[in-house]
Amino acid sequence: MTLSSSGPPSTRPHSPGAHPRVLGRYSSGRPGPTVVCIGALHGNEPAGLSAISRVLARLQDGGVPLRGELIGVAGNRRALIEERRFVDRDLNRRWSPDNIARIAAGTIETSEDQETRELLAVFLPLLRRGPVHFIDLHSTSGLSTPFSCMADVLRNRPLALALPIPVVLGLEEVIEGSMLGYLCDLGHVGVAIEGGQHSDPRTVDFHESALLLMLVAAGSLEARHVPDLAAHRARLAAVNSGMPAVCEIRHRHVIKAEDEPFVMLPGFVNFQIVERGQVVADDRRGSVRVPETGLMMLPRYQGQGDDGYFIARPVSRTALRVSAALRTLRLDVLVPWLPGVSRHPERADHYVADPAVARVAVEQVFHLFGYRHVRADAERLVFSRRRPAARPVLPAELQRLREGDETVEG
């Protein structure tokens, strides 16, 4: 069976602002996982909404015996109306405990604060049940084939690795305040899909295929209830031939206000090889050069956002298997014995490394255990990771909302 490259007009990207917060819910009453699929967390990325609506309609019209529940959610509805990435601030960069506590307490400073509050109203009843599988559908400003991103915890791997597309590790760790990073730290499952370029009609199709495959991987659907499953897998595999199976982020180019205007040179695409010292963009300071040889990721060809581009490198599946074994055996107790490494004096599950002693090999060992978030502290490096335990928690900043603050029901 083959699939057409686009759906009928009713399943193509809808006009911005035409979506309720909850696009729809589907359950056949059978016990199983709760899957929440979010589209348009950035307002200029509507393709995910169309894919979610398409899958919900398919399940509903076919009376498919789904296990658990699938919930479709619209992200930044106000930015959707304006066809912009965001209105005031990036909705996918503000999910820190401090910001969530402020918003939960009722202090709303931006349009995206209100969006966050309304999203929390949808998420909170589900978070109390836990664990929840969150699937976040995105698209890119530059040309791209589909790929997935996940925080590097073992519970995320079955969903991400179920797709015949590259998996990018470390993006959720180098980006501060991502929604999936926050939810992952609460103990839930979270995978993001970059389905293709914003305006490419195939992006909706790729998202649809990815969502169906992940519903099977999550245990929500049996493969026999998706008779065209092989065709959806083939659709994704066909556009990713020759791509690395797994990559990790090595560098993030941050655009500061004083750097603007930042202009990416034309023609860069995801997974394109770039060489150290190669000029890839221009900003107020002059030419922007790549600090190391690697794979170009997410070049910014849009006016908003402080991520200019990322550099990645391939990771072997052997390394993934080794890391899974190390974590399953809980051998991370050996981390403090690494040369130049000590426990952080104040923060649990954080380690301090002396870069003069803890060189590249030590950093790679940290990555095997999931410690991909690195920040400089004076002359030291501090390594941390997403919460590895699978038992969800409801953190202190959400306790007030847990007590029944009905004003969040947006």
* Predicted confidence (pLDDT) per residue in 203-251, tens digit: 999 999 999 999 999 999 999 999 999 999 999 999 988 889 999 999 9
- Going by pLDDT thresholds of 50, 70 and 90, the confidence category of residue 343 is confident
Beta-carbon contacts of 6 under 8 Å, excluding residues fewer than 6 positions away, are 12, 201, 202, 204, 205
Which of the pair, 258 or 361, is modelled with greater confidence? 258
Cα 33 to Cα 409: distance, rounded to the nearest angstrom: 23
Helix-helix angle 202-217:229-238, to 10 degrees: 130
The encoded tokens of residue 68 equal 């658990």
Peptide bond into 299 cis (omega under 30): no
Please state the length of the chain. Answer: 410
Cα 325 to Cα 133: distance, rounded to the nearest angstrom: 23
Cα 328 to Cα 347: distance, rounded to the nearest angstrom: 23
Ramachandran quadrant class, 282 (left: phi over 0; alpha: psi -120 to 50; beta: rest): beta
- Going by pLDDT thresholds of 50, 70 and 90, the confidence category of residue 10 is very low
- pTM value? 0.90
- Going by pLDDT thresholds of 50, 70 and 90, the confidence category of residue 305 is confident
Find tokens 């009905």 and name the residue: 406
In DSSP notation, 18-82 reads ---SEEEEE--SEEEEEEEEEE-SSTT-THHHHHHHHHHHHHHHHT---EEEEEEEE--HHHHHH
Least confident of 101-105, 198-202, 318-322, 351-355: 351-355
Q: Answer whether 217's CB lies under 8 Å from 138's CB.
A: no
Cα 318 to Cα 184: distance, rounded to the nearest angstrom: 24
- Going by pLDDT thresholds of 50, 70 and 90, the confidence category of residue 5 is low
pLDDT of residue 110: 95
Provide φ and ψ at 214, rounded to 5°. Answer: -75, -30
Cα 309 to Cα 298: distance, rounded to the nearest angstrom: 5
Which CATH class, in words, describes the domain spanning 250-314? mainly beta
- Give the residue from 232, 123, 227 showing the smallest Cα distance to 179: 123
- Going by pLDDT thresholds of 50, 70 and 90, the confidence category of residue 11 is very low
Cα 165 to Cα 196: distance, rounded to the nearest angstrom: 12
- Going by pLDDT thresholds of 50, 70 and 90, the confidence category of residue 404 is very low
Least confident of 2-6, 256-260, 294-298: 2-6
Cα 159 to Cα 350: distance, rounded to the nearest angstrom: 27
User: 79-88: per-residue pLDDT in tens?
Assistant: 999 999 999 9
User: 17-61: per-residue pLDDT in tens?
Assistant: 568 999 999 999 999 999 999 999 999 999 999 999 999 999 999
Peptide bond into 261 cis (omega under 30): yes
Span 365-377, average pLDDT: 83
Average pLDDT score over the chain: 88
pLDDT of residue 166: 95
pLDDT of residue 15: 46
pLDDT of residue 409: 40
Which of the pair, 7 or 153, is modelled with greater confidence? 153
In eight-state DSSP terms, residue 288 is E
- Going by pLDDT thresholds of 50, 70 and 90, the confidence category of residue 178 is very high
What ranges do the domains of the chain cover?
Answer: 9-238, 250-314, 330-384
pLDDT of residue 1: 62
318-323, long-range: CB < 8 A, 24+ apart: 319/246, 319/368, 320/157, 320/246, 322/368, 323/152, 323/367, 323/368, 323/369, 323/370
Span 115-134, average pLDDT: 92
pLDDT of residue 77: 95
Span 307-320, average pLDDT: 92
Extended strands (E) in 315-403: 341-343, 351-353, 373-377, 380-384
Q: Answer whether 76's CB lies under 8 Å from 89's CB.
A: no
Cα angle vertex 39, ends 237, 239, to 5°? Answer: 15
Classify residue 363 as exposed, middle or buried by CB count within 10 Å of its CB (0-12, 13-18, 19+).
Answer: middle
Q: In terms of CATH architecture, what is 9-238?
A: 3-Layer(aba) Sandwich (3.40)
pLDDT of residue 402: 54
pLDDT of 358 above 80: no
Find tokens 């399943």 and name the residue: 11
